[in-house]
Amino acid sequence: MTRRDVFEYAVLRVVPRVERGECFNAGVLVYCRARSFVAARTHLDERKLAALDPRADVVGVRAALRAVEGVCHGGDAAGQAAGDDLGRRFRWLIAPRSTVVQPGPVHSGLTTDPAAEIERLLDLLVR
């Protein structure tokens, strides 16, 4: 029998005009403590962004999504979070914030492969 481990995930939402509260999914964060895994995968649908805000800063939104991926990856790309353990980085990224890129609620599940899980969730919830 293949070992299944608990993982947590949150959807990354783009909220181009925070005051309006309209959003769409643009990425997924996955954390699996048992497998020492944290990662984010993103996909920005520029047509959706333009539909919600034709004057949205596409370059800025892409940079914000890349920054989330960078924090997960660690190293220089993680900035101040580089020294934090994976769980702390995940918790920091899922903390509520009022910015253009926001995390949704945290959900959990079981997985045998967190890397495959993040791709499955990106296909299911974002693409």
The mean pLDDT values, 10 residues at a time, for the chain of 127 residues are: 93 94 96 97 97 96 95 83 89 90 97 97 97
List the domain boundaries for the chain. 5-125
- State residue 94's pLDDT score: 95
- State residue 86's pLDDT score: 93
Contact present, 100 and 44 (Cβ < 8 Å): no
**Can you give the pTM of this predicted structure?**
0.92
- State residue 57's pLDDT score: 95
Give me the amino acid identity at 21: G
| Distance separating alpha carbons of residues 58 and 28, to the nearest angstrom | 19
Kindly report the number of other CB atoms within 10 A of residue 48's CB atom: 16
| Phi and psi, residue 61, nearest 5° | -65, -45
Instruction: Write out pLDDT tens, residues 47-60.
Output: 999 999 999 999 99
